[in-house]
A and B are shown apart, each in its own frame.
Chain A
Amino acid sequence: MTRPPLRHRIITNALLAVAALYFLVPVYWLIVSATKNSADLFGTFGFWFSRHPHPLRYLTEVLTYDHGVYARWFANSLLYAGIGAVCATLMSAAAGYALAKFPFRGRETIFNVVLAGVLIPGTALALPLYFLFSAMGLANTYWAVLIPSTVSPFGVYLCRIYAAAAVPDSLLEAARIDGAGEARIFGGLGLRLMTPALVTVFLFQFVHIWNNYFLPLVMLSDSDLYPVQLGLTSWTGYADRQPVLYQYTVGGALLSVLPLMVLMTVLQRYWRTGLTEGSVKS
C-alpha cells in the first residue's frame, strides 16, 4: 500500500484533532470543575484549575451529602440497569432463538409486531405506561422502572438474526437425537453459540436503562427510588436556593459518567456491530 501524500496526512489529522477537541473539551471542563468549590466554580476560569484543587475532598462531600443519598441513587441506577439488562438479554435470547429455530404458524406475525416495537418512541409509551401502572398500584415502586427495562424488542431482533446464522440446525438435531430436552439444548448450546450477540444486547440495554430519564421521571416520586440522573436534576432544581448544590451537581455528574465511559472505551469493539448486524446481511 502506498503512503498517502504528506499534505493529505496533515489535513486529515488536523481535522480529526479539531473534532477530538470538540468532543473532549466538555469532559475536560467537568474534570477540572470537580476539583473546585462553589466559589471557585463561579470565580475562576473554567478551563483551568483553581489555586487549591481538591478533587478527593469535594467528591467525598458529594457522596456524604444528605446522608449519602447520592450513593443510594447510584446503587439504584446499578440495580435498574444491571438486573434490567440481564433479564432483557436472557428473554431476548430465548425469544430470538425460538423465532429463528422453530418454524411454526404465526412466527412472522409475531416477529413483525416485535419489530414495530423497535420503532415506537419510548417516551410516547412511558406516559400511558405510567397511567396503567398507577391503575395497577405499581407506580412509584422499583418495579415501575425495572419491569419495562426488561423488555428489549431490539434485542429480540438481534438475537433472531444472530441465532439464525450462528446456531446450526444439524447441531440441534443431533442434540435432540441424544435425548436432550429443548430447554437444555437452549441453555447448553444456544446460549453459548449466541454469546457475542448477547454481549451486544446486554451492553445496549444497560446503557439504554442507565441513560433513560423519562421513564423514572414519570414513574417515581419517592427520591429514595431515584436513579442518579433523576437525583442530579433534583439537585439542580434546588441549586438556586442552595448554591453548594452546583458544586455537588458537577461532582455527581463526573462520578456518574466515569463507570460508563470506562465501560464504553473498553468494550467499544462490541458496540459497533449491534445496529448494522441486520443491514450488513440483508
Chain B
Amino acid sequence: MFRSRSWFGGPWGGRPKNRLSLEHLKYLYSILEKNTTVSESNRGLLVESLRCIAEILIWGDQHDSLVFDFFLEKNMLSYFLHIMRQKSGGSSYVCVQLLQTLNILFENIRNETSLYYLLSNNHVNSIMVHKFDFSDEDVMAYYILFLKTLSLKLTPHTIHFFYNEHTNDFPLYTEAIKFFNHPESMVRIAVRTISLNVYKVQNASMLRFIRDKTAAPYFSNIVWFIGKHILELDTCVRTDIDHQSNQKLSNLVAEHLNHLHYLNDILLLDIKDLNAVLTEHLLHKLFVPLYIFSLTPAPPPPSLAVVTQNLAAVLNRNVDIDIQEIHHPRVSSIVALYLLSLVFLVVTHEPLVHALAWVILNGDHSVFKEGAAEILNSYVEHREVVVPSFGEPHESLEQALDTVVGHTANYSGDAISEDSGVESTPAATASPSSQQTETVAEAAATQLRNITDEEKQMLQQSTSAQSVSELPNPFLETVLQALDCTENDYLALLALCLIYAMSHNRDGMKNEWFEQVLSKSMRGSFSYKTAIIEHLLNIITQSSQPSCRIRLITAEIALELLLTFTKPAADDAPCITSSQQSLLFSARNQSMVVLRNFYKSEDIFLDLFENEYNEMRKAQLNVEFLCTYSTILLPPTGTPLTGIEFTHRLPCGEVEKARRAIRIYFLLRRTCQKFLNEKETLLPLTNVVNLVQVDNVLDLNNSDLIACTVVSKDNTKQRRFLVIDALQLILVEPDAKLLGWGVAKFVGFLQDVEVQGDKDDSRCLHITVHRGGVTHNRTPLLSAKFLFDDHIRCMAAKQRLTKGRSKARQKKMYQIAQLIEIPGQLDSPLYPVCGTSSHCGNSRLAQKGANLTASRVPGFAAVLRGNNSAGVSRTQMAQNRSIEGIRNESGSRSRRRSPNAGSSSPSSLRTANAVLDRDRSPSGSGGSHSSSQSRENSQARGSGNRSRESSPRMPRPRSEEIPLEDFPHSRNNSPHSRGAMGNPSPSSRSHTPSRALHFDQISVHSGSPRESSCVLGTNALLSQLNGSVAIAREVIPVQSSEETSFIGNDVEADNRRKVRGNIETV
C-alpha cells in the first residue's frame, strides 16, 4: 500500500534538498496548510507529507530541538485531527497513514520534554475518542497499537495527560477495553497489554476511577466472555471423541489459558481493591457456578424438574429442587476437572485459590445458594453474600462504560448503581437471575396444563432421589471417584492433575492447611488423605500390569503425588503404612516381571532401554506443561497417528509396549528408592564419570594406537590416532608437550559405531558413529572415511571396532539383566539343570540360542558371563545385589567362572542358554531367523568364543586366544565368511576374518615398533592394561579394552611367532 514514491517527483521546485531538516518540515507544513480538505487529488500528497513529518520529527528529537519547537508552535497535531475528522476523500487511506505517523512518533521519541509537549494540549485524547472506521483491519491495527504505544508511555507523571480526575475521563483505558472481545486476536492481546500497563501505574485516584467506574462492568464481561468460551470448549470436547478437530480444540484451550494468565497477571499486580472485585467475580460468577457445579451429578432433564416444581406449587408443598440450578449451564466433569486444575496451576492469588480449594474440599451444595463469601471474608472484609450464578451481565461493557464515562457531561444521572462500586455487584448479579426465573416460570405455566398422572409419579421419585444423594463433601467425593481406573484413566488423569495442582500451587495455598483439611476423617478413622493414598496405590498397581489401560503420565503423576502425600511431616517417618509400602514394592516387582518378557525379544532393546532412561531423566514432570495439551481432554488413545506424545497415550505395537514396560519400571524403581532413601547406583548403564571427554589429555603409553587419516564429508583431512577403549572410540592427536600422551579430539560410544569396508580401497573404512538411542536428531555424531596406512591396519581397526561394539553391548545387556534380575543370570540351580539337558542334544535349540547371542542385542546369559567381571564394576554389582536383597557376591562369581574355567564345550553352553531362552520368552525366538541363520551361526560361534576369551580370568596368555580359537572357526566357516566379506552391508556385525588376514595381523605385530620387552604374567598384564590409559588433567581411570589381546598386547614377539607356527600347522 501507499508505496508510490512519486509524490515528490518534479512539480515541487521549492522542496528543500535535505530530507531531514527544519526547512523540509516547514515546507511540509505549507502543504498541510494548503490542503486542509482531503480530496481524491491531494490525498497521495498528504499521505506522503504525513510520512515525512514522522521521519523529520524523529530525526529532530535526536538531533535538532528546533524541529519540535516548530511542530508545536504551528500546532500541527490539530491539522492531523482536522484531516481525520473529514469523511470525504477516502478517509481510511489517509487515516492509516496518520495513525502510522502517530505511532512512529510516540514509539520512537526519546526526549521526555518532547513527549510532554506532544501530550500537553489534549489533542491525543481527542484522537483516541475519534470514531475511526474500525471495520478496516489496518485502521483497527494501527489504532489499537497507537493506544498500546501510549500505554507504554504511562508513568505517574504522564498519567495526568491521559486521565482527567475532574471529568473522570480516561479515554486511553475506556476506549481500549471496548475491544476486549474483538475477533482479531492481536487486538485482544493489545487490549490486555494496555489494561495491564494502566493498572501498573501507581496512581491512587486513577486506580480509584478504575475500580469504581469500570472494574465491575469490565470484569463481569470478561468473566462472561470466558464462560462462553468454556461452553464452546466443552462442546468441542463432547463432539470430538475421535481426535478429529484437534486444531480447534487446542486453539480453544490455548485461548482459555491466555485468559487465565491475563487474570493472574492482573492479580499479580497486587492492587488490593481491584483484586477484591476480580476475585469476587471469578469465584461467584465462574468458578463456583460453572466449574464446581459441573462436579455435581447431572440433574434430571429440565422439563421434568420444572413440572415437579409446578406440581409442588399446585399442591402447596415445598420441593427442594432449584430450578435455577437445573438451568445453569454445565460442562462435562472432564472439562470441569481440567479447568479447576488450570486455575490452581496458573492463579496464585491467595484469597481466590484458597476459597476455591475450600469449596472443593469442604463445600457442599449450599455453596450454590450461599456463595463462598464466608471463606472470602477471612481475606477481604465487608463481603456481602452473593448468589453465585453464571449469567450474562445485564449491561454490555460498552453500555456500562458509556454510562460511567458518559460523553463528558451527562453521565451523572444514569450510572447510579455503578457508582457504589463493589457494593453494587450483588445488584448486578441479581437481575439476570431474576430474569431467568421469570422465563422459567412462564415455561412452567405452559407445561402445567398438560401434565399426566404418570409424570406426577416420576416426579415424586426423582425428588426423593435427589434428597438422598446429599453427601458431606460431594465435590471431593466426585474427584475421588474420578480416580478410579477400572476402565481407563481418562478421568483419573485429570483428577490427578487437579490434586497435583492443588497441592503444588505455588504460594497461594498453604500446604499445612491443605493437609489439615485432607486428614479430616471421612468415615470413622478413614481420612481423605488415606483415601487418596489408596487410590494412588491402586492406580500404581494397575499400571504395573502387563496390559493395562493407564498412560505413563498418569502413573508418573500418581507416583509423584504418592511421594507428596506421604512426605514426612517434620522429622517423622514417612506416613505410609507397611502394607501400603509393600503394595508399592510389589508393583515395582510386577513391573520388573513384565519387563523381563521384553528383554532381548526386540533387537533394539538396549537402545530403547538407554533412551528411555535418558528421556525419563530429561523430562521432569511438569503438570502445567501437560495441561497445555488439549489432547488430555479427549479419551485416551493408542495410535501415534494423532500426534500425541508417547507418554500421553497408550502404547501401540511391540516396540512401544517394550518402551512402556521400561519406563514404568524406571518410574517405580525411582519412587521405591526415594522411599528407601537410596541413591541410584546402577543407572545409567554408562557411568559418565569414567568416560573420556573431548579435550582430555590421555596417557597412551602402552595402549593400542592405529594411525589413520579421517576424511570428513567436506573432504577435510585430519591425521588422528584411533584408540578403542572398553566403551568408547577415541580419536586422539599427539600431545605437544608430553611424549606418549594424546589429546582426545573425538569420542563416541562403541555401541553406536557402524563400520563398512570400502569396495575399491582396502585401506579405507567408512565409520559412522550414531547418536545413541532413539533420538529425534538423526544426524550422526561422526560420519567419515578413515584411511589407514595399509590394509592390514585397516582390517585390524575394523575388527576391533566390530568386536568393541558387540562387547560394549553385551556388557550393557548383562547390566540390564542384573538390574531386572533375569533368573538365568543369578540362579544357581538353573545352570546345572540346563547343562544336563544339553546332553540330550537338541541341536536346533542350540542353534537358536546361539543366533540370539550373535544378533545385535546379545542377551545371552552364559556367554555374557565372561565379560561381566571386566565390564561391570564389582562394587556396582555388589550394590545391586544388596539392594535387591538377593545373593551374595562371591557365590555368583564362582558360578560365573565355572563354565569357562572348566573347558566345557561351547555347544553345551549354548544349549543351556537356548533352553533358558525358551523358558523365558516362548514366542521370542520363532523360526524367522532362518534366512540369516547360516551366517549368524558362524558369527555366533565366533562371538561365543570371543566372550570366553575376553574373560580376564582365563588362565592362558591373552595373545594366544584369538588366533587359536578364532582361526579354526573361521576356516570351518569359510564359505560363509567369504560370502559376508563380499557383501559389505552387514560388515559391521559380521565376524569374518579369513585365514590370511589373521596371519597378516599377527605378523604386523611381530614387526611392531611398539613391542616392549617386558614379559608379564597374565594377571600382571591385566593390571597393567587396566591402568594403561590415564588422563592427565583429571585423572580418570579408563578401562582398556580386553580386545587388546589381538593387536596391541605387549607380549613377546617370540611367543607370537610360536603361536603363528601353531596355526600354520593346523
Chains A and B are bound partners: no
Binding site for B on A (CB under 8 A): none
Binding site for A on B (CB under 8 A): none
